[in-house]
Copies of this chain bind each other. A is one copy, B any other.
Amino acid sequence: MTAPVYDFRSDNVGGAAPELLEALVTANAGTASPYGDDDHTRAMNARFTAAFERPVTALPVSSGTGSNAVALAALANPYGSIYCHESAHINVYECGAPEFYTGAKLVALPGRDYKLHADELDAALSLAGRGNPTRVQPFALNVTQPTDYGTLYRPAEIAALCEIAHAHGLKVHMDGARFANAIAALGCSPADLTWRCGVDALSFGATKNGAMNAEAVVVFDPALAASIPFRMKRGGLVLSKARYVSAQLDRYLADDRWIERARRANEHAARLAAGLGALPGVTIVAPVEINMIFARLPDAAVAALDAGPLRYYKLGREVRFVCRHDQEPEGIAALVDTVRAALGSPAPGRVPLRPG
């Protein structure tokens, strides 16, 4: 019998939540108009409108990168720049998709806790050379919430960033690939975290929280939405049978299971962080606020992890562990135990690694 493989690589290695799979199967009956002109997509739009407490336009797409790129393109001028944190997903892990769709340059700023800060953004924008034809002209701010290092912006922080951005003539895009984890952690409503702070467009991610390649571009200003269907088609992002994505998203927001899943994932990570953080020689790199842990481990611990059945990612000199809602508690214990054993630490007395 082989040892179980505990998988901490990413939240996109997991399967689909049962009710989303069921929604997809149900949506399979009968014929439906193609390209998003179908009843499931209309129902999904009504659902987003309810969830966000205002009329929104929501477009189904099957990739987060596509969602980000097309949302940014809808905000763009073709000789412009997008401001973002240097660790932003759009800057590091999308192989240039935002640049491809927008024609713009990403201006990547540093910032404590992997976040942008309003005063630093203001200073950077003040030097951008607005109106000078030798300089790219800023048109958008990207806020990655949560950040790619698992840190969170508070609503007031987002509002401050949006205020600066708008004052400088920029629109604001939120990359919400892990939007559910932010909602679960902060305990605020989707509206409170987005348009009430000034966000103009949101890439609403569901894939990392139990959906099957289901994401939505959510636009709070109808005028901004007008060009998106064309931009999507031009990028090959329009789905012939959009109902299969829309039906999932409609079901996703139908009750609170999406938030509960995210909450469980966050809790698993908190437990794992507590376990790892108590070990000598382990440095937790970023505040653990959602379901991701970034750490620096002694070489012996890395070697021990690499020898076993646990799976995780190395990113440069750091390791990353991501917890899913359906993460096995045994996996969390096994991970901590493996690192502890490699470091020669005694077993802990006070950190309950197994959920009660």
Contacts and interface: CB of A to CB of B under 8 A. Distances in A.
Given A78-B231, A230-B133, A236 B97 contact: yes
A65 interface: yes
A208 B31 CA distance: 12
A21 B96 CA distance: 34
A213 B134 contact: no
Interface in A222-254: 227, 229-241, 244-245
Interface of A: 5, 7, 9-10, 12-16, 21, 24-25, 28-35, 61-70, 73, 77-81, 92-97, 99-101, 103-106, 127, 133-137, 207-208, 212-213, 227, 229-241, 244-245, 316
Given A15-B30, A29-B15, A127-B316, A97 B9 contact: no
Copies assembled: 4
Given A66-B236, A213-B239, 14 more contacts: A5-B31, A10-B34, A63-B240, A66-B237, A67-B236, A78-B227, A78-B231, A79-B95, A95-B135, A95-B230, A100-B234, A103-B103, A133-B238, A237-B237
Contacts of A69: 236
A196 to B, nearest CB: 28
A234 B95 contact: yes
A237 B213 CA distance: 11
A32 to B, nearest CB: 6
A212 B106 CA distance: 33
A9 B15 CA distance: 34
B135 A92 contact: yes
B100 A133 contact: no
B94 A134 contact: yes
A217 B244 CA distance: 21
Contact of A227 (B79, B81, B232, B316): B79
Contact of A238 (B30, B65, B212, B241): B65
A233 B134 contact: yes
B34 A13 contact: yes
Contact of A207 (B66, B67, B240): B240
Nearest to A62: B62
A108 to B, nearest CB: 8
A150 to B, nearest CB: 18
Nearest to A37: B133
Contacts of A70: 236
A237 B207 CA distance: 14
A73 B77 CA distance: 12
28 contacts: A5-B31, A10-B34, A12-B241, A13-B33, A13-B34, A14-B31, A24-B212, A35-B134, A62-B62, A62-B213, A63-B236, A63-B239, A66-B235, A66-B236, A69-B236, A77-B227, A92-B135, A95-B134, A95-B233, A96-B103, A97-B235, A100-B103, A105-B106, A133-B230, A207-B240, A208-B240, A212-B244, A213-B241
B127 A233 contact: no
A289 B80 CA distance: 33
Contacts of A104: 96, 99
A127 B316 CA distance: 6
Contacts of A80: 96
A238 B215 CA distance: 13
> Looking at A15, A33, A77, which has the most chain B CB atoms within 10 Å of its CB?
A15
